[in-house]
Amino acid sequence: MWQQRVFVNSLQSFCQVEVSAATTAGEVLRILESQNALPGGSGGGWMLWEVCQDFGMERPIRSFELLSDVSASWNADKTVNVLMVKKTAMAPLLSRTAIPSSSPICSGSIQWEYKRGKWQKRWMELREHSLWLSKKDNGKDQVFLCSLSNFDAYTMTRPYKSPKPFVFAVKSTDNLSFFEDTSDYMHIFSCGESEGQNWLEKILLARSYVVYQERNVLTNTSVAASNGGASLSRAGTRKQRPAQPLVNFGGASAASADVPPVPAMFEPGSLLAKRT
């Protein structure tokens, strides 16, 4: 257990919350609600946000995500990233009930920052909860960009020079130290406002879907609840002595004399028979 500082609406005020490695974002909201820190209660569109001040971006944290997973991706040498609660219109989109039954798909033209300050027009596809880039929409030269099993969508928190008005990023949820090539850690895109909002929504939903499917965050909870909270356990096993000895050493006993001989397992003359 440790004390986690959680800011409310801005960096001007915060609350201390006791959390553990198993604490979820939803549990933090309920704790803050019990402290009367959320006007209108936790159901009024409040969400916990990961604010990455080192990269100038942020993202909403789903109620079933673990805080320990979020903080594990931060640079331990730079304590600039924070957790903040604030209201957002994306709260219904990222709720448990909004998780899609299949991974969302999306495609379209987009500007991709392939190098700092350098942009290229690309055709991007979201399918199988992964992002793919190609020069044209026929996809002949399509290349894999990243999987949403360990990437998520972020919005920018400070002005970013770009060819289009809307800018968003797809950044790894793992620590930067895991990447040999740091350019693979984060990808930034630019497009029109409506297109950008659509991309953001589809990527966020795809990430929710893959967290549900692959990490089984929600299904474990539902299975335990359907069983009345009882945890699954393996039935105990014990060794049992055979009723008859497998090999009879010495003379045959009275009990074994009536037992008919066991036929040979392998045909005479076979290689397996010679080994037995």
- pLDDT digits (tens), the chain, 276 positions: 889 999 999 999 999 999 999 999 999 999 999 998 888 776 679 999 999 998 999 999 999 899 999 988 888 777 789 999 999 999 999 998 899 989 999 999 999 999 999 999 999 999 999 999 999 988 789 999 999 999 999 999 999 999 999 999 999 999 988 999 889 999 999 999 999 999 999 999 999 999 887 766 444 555 555 555 444 443 444 444 444 444 444 444 444 444 445 455 545 554 444 444
CB-based contact 7:47 (threshold 8 Å): no
Q: How many CB atoms sit inside 10 A of residue 239's CB?
A: 4
Instruction: Identify which of 244, 53, 59 has the alpha carbon closest to the alpha carbon of residue 148.
Output: 59
Angstrom CA distances, 246 to 239, 241, 249, 253, 274, stand at 15, 10, 10, 13, 19
Six token digits for residue 20: 């553990």
- Bridge partners of 236? none
> What is the pTM assigned to this prediction?
0.76
